[in-house]
Amino acid sequence: MPIRELSCSLAMAEALREEMERDETIFILGEDLTAHGGIFGQFRGLPKLFPDRIIDTPISETSIVGAGVGSALTGMRPIIDMHFADFITTAMDEIVNQMAKIRYMSGGQASLPLVLWAPDGGGLNAAAQHSQCLESWLVHVPGLKVVVPFEPADVKGLIKAAIRDPDPVIFFQHKKLFNWTGPVTEDQDVIPLGKAFVRRPGTDVTLITYSRMTYECMEAARELVKKNIQAEVIDLRTLCPLDFDLIAQSIKKTRRAVVVHEACRTGGFGSELSARVSEELFDHLDGPVVRVAAEDVPIPFSPEMEKFVMPQMKDILFAVDTVLQYESRK
C-alpha cells in the first residue's frame, strides 16, 4: 500500500477524518477548533467536512469535559480537545471522579467511549503553565488508559484505537512533535493499546522511554555506538495498559535499565517503572535502575534555563555510563 511522509499533526487529522467518516457518533469539542483547524493543525480540514461535529466551546474545561462525559454516556464518542495538557488540572473532578469511575460505579452497565486529547511537554519556551508533562497523575487513576505516541504512524494508529475503545483514553501528544515527519501508510493499521515497540535493538543496556524522549534516546544510542555500546530503545507508546512483557524480555537480555522521561523526577512514571523492574526482575539486573528526568522545578520561560531543567542527551549518556560502571565496581 502507498506510503507517504506525514507530520504528526497531519497524521492526526487524517485519522480523525477517516474515523468520523466511519462512525457518525464521533464528534470533537473544545476551544478554537474551527478558526485554524486547531492550534497545532491537528484538525485541519475537518470543520468544512463535518461542520456540525466540530464544536467550539466557551473557555471552561470543566464544562467541556463534563459535556463529553454526558454525551459518551448517551452513546456518542466524543473527542475532547484540552488545548494544553496543563488545563487538565481545571477539570480533575470530571476526569478523576466521573470519567474514570462510571463503568465501575455502574457495575459495568455503562461504558464511556471518550478520548481526552492533550498536547503536553516543554521545549517551546511556553513557561510553567503551558509546558508540563502530567501523565503520572492520570496513570495513577484506575479506569483511565494513557497513550503517549512518538512517530506519525503511531499517532494515527493509536488515535484510531483510542477512539474505538469502550473506555476513556487520555491521549497525550507532545507539542514539539507536531511537525515531526515519518512514513505513514494510506491504510494505516490500528495499533492496539498496550503494545510497546523496540525502536532500536541492543544488547548492553535497555533505554525505556516514550513521547519526545524517544528521539533523545535514539540520538544517545547512536552516540553510544562510538563506544561500542549497543543500547536497546523501547518506546512504550502507552503507559496504561503497560507492555511490561516487552520490558522484561529486553532487560533479561541486557541486564541493565535506564528509564527516560521528560516529566520531573519525583513521582514521575519512571518511579513506577523502576519499582516494578526492581521488584520483578531483580535477579536479572547487574546494577540499579537509573532514572533520567527533568528537575523538580516549574519549567522556566528562559530558553537556556528550560534546556537546563529538561533532560538532554548528555544526561542519558551519563546514566548509561553510571549503569555500566556499577558492574565494574562490584
Domain count, the chain: 2
Residues 298 and 149 in one domain: no
Residues 274 and 242 in one domain: yes
Instruction: Annotate 109-146 with b (16+ C-beta within 10 A) or e (fewer).
Output: eebbbbbbbbbbbbbeebeeebbbbbbbbbbebebbbb
CA-CA distance, 180 to 121, in Å (whole number)? 14
Q: Answer with the one of 159, 185, 211 that is the final residue of a domain.
A: 185
Residues 139 and 263 in one domain: no
Residues 171 and 281 in one domain: no
* Structure confidence at residue 328 (pLDDT): 53
Residues 121 and 220 in one domain: no
* Structure confidence at residue 32 (pLDDT): 85
The parts of the chain modelled with pLDDT lower than 70 are 1, 327-330
Q: What range defines the domain where residue 218 resides?
A: 197-329
**Grid cell locating 86:** 496543563
Asked if residue 181 is part of any domain, the answer here is yes
Q: Answer with the one of 185, 213, 228 that is the final residue of a domain.
A: 185
User: Active-site positions?
Assistant: 130
CA-CA distance, 107 to 59, in Å (whole number)? 34
The CATH code of the domain that includes 53 is 3.40.50.970
Residues 227 and 83 in one domain: no
CA-CA distance, 325 to 323, in Å (whole number)? 6
Which residues have C-beta within 8 Å of that of residue 47, sequence separation ≥ 6?
A: 33, 34, 37, 54
Name the helix (H) or strand (E) containing 252.
helix 244-254
* Structure confidence at residue 33 (pLDDT): 87
Asked if residue 238 is part of any domain, the answer here is yes
Residues 37 and 176 in one domain: yes
User: In this structure, are residues 181 and 152 in contact, taking their beta carbons and an 8 Å threshold?
Assistant: yes
Residues 140 and 105 in one domain: yes
Which residues have C-beta within 8 Å of that of residue 266, sequence separation ≥ 6?
A: 296
Alpha-carbon distances of 227 from 130, 145, 221, 291, 295, rounded to whole Å:
38, 39, 10, 21, 28
Asked if residue 22 is part of any domain, the answer here is yes
**Grid cell locating 8:** 504528526
Asked if residue 192 is part of any domain, the answer here is no
Asked if residue 113 is part of any domain, the answer here is yes
* Structure confidence at residue 205 (pLDDT): 98
Residues 213 and 124 in one domain: no
Residues 225 and 296 in one domain: yes
**Grid cell locating 309:** 531543567
Residues 170 and 203 in one domain: no
330 burial level (CB within 10 Å; 0-12, 13-18, 19+): exposed
Asked if residue 190 is part of any domain, the answer here is no
Asked if residue 191 is part of any domain, the answer here is no
Asked if residue 105 is part of any domain, the answer here is yes
Residues 168 and 261 in one domain: no
The CATH code of the domain that includes 295 is 3.40.50.920
CA-CA distance, 174 to 149, in Å (whole number)? 8
Q: Answer with the one of 153, 185, 217 that is the final residue of a domain.
A: 185
User: In this structure, are residues 79 and 72 in contact, taking their beta carbons and an 8 Å threshold?
Assistant: no
